[in-house]
Amino acid sequence: PRRSRRRKSIAIAYEPGQGDGAEPQRPRWEPRDWREQLERIREMRRSRDAPVDEMGVQKCYDTSAPPQVMRYQVLLALMLSSQTKDQVTSAAMLRLRQHGLTVDTVLQMDDETLGQIIYPVGFWRNKVKYIKQTTAILKQKYGGDIPSTVEELVQLPGVGPKMAHLAMHIAWDSVAGIAVDTHVHRISNRLQWVKKETKNPEETRVALEEWLPRDLWKEINWLLVGFGQQTCLPVNPRCSQCLNQDICPAAKRL
């Protein structure tokens, strides 16, 4: 009897947020109204017509390419996308693919040619350097493929945590964490989806992963990026058009 009681209490303790006995055993913080806010954001994103939907990284690679080439193209698109609008990244990736975008073609390309192809992505000169360095590492260490862990991905030149988590999502179909960019960071703070204000996307990622159910981790980036591009803008957010205006802590101040 003692063993079965113990087993029951463990099941309740780890069950995600349901069951009469769960709350006292797992006093987990979660934001007020977050489920309703999330549902309303889903409603606002239902048409899937934001730039991220039409020209985001998940649309930039050749789906008919061999899996290894596809994964490499995903990583390159992510590297190009940093501090660059989706439209510009998409156009640069299209030009690269017209040159035959593989590890070997990039290694054979001189820096000037690569720079001309990816211009005008943000910080294109640095990205030429990072792309060449990373591609050489992929060829030497990974047989032309990309690493399959966040820990290895962030070791590559020019690859940060957000890119690594998105690479895991898109290239490997694996959810290792939440991909947090400036949109997710900004909106999470406006909605107070963090216990206290966070200073950067990486702090926001850690804060969100503490409470957000894991089955939402993959969806949340796509959802909030598009919402941030269309409604919850960095400057002059369109609160009057937002379904969350009555339950958003920031809407009252903006």
- Identity of the amino acid at 57: V
Rounded CA separation 244/217 (Å):
21
Given 129, 162, 195, 218, the catalytic residue = 162
Residue type present at position 85: K
Which residues have CB under 8 Å from 10's CB, separation 6+?
none
The rounded distance, in Å, linking the Cα atoms of 191 and 236 is 16
For CA atoms 35, 176, 188, 92, the dihedral sign is negative
248 secondary structure, DSSP code: -
| Tokens 């992510």 belong to residue | 78
Active site residue 139: no
How many CB atoms are located within 10 Å of the residue 72 CB? 25
Q: Is 152 exposed, middle or buried (0-12, 13-18, 19+ CB in 10 A)?
A: middle
Contacts of 140 (CB under 8 A, 6+ apart): none
CA-to-CA separations, 83 to 5, 56, 70, in angstroms, rounded? 54, 13, 23
Whether the Cβ atoms of residue 106 and residue 114 lie closer than 8 Å to each other: yes
Catalytic residues, by residue number, are: 162
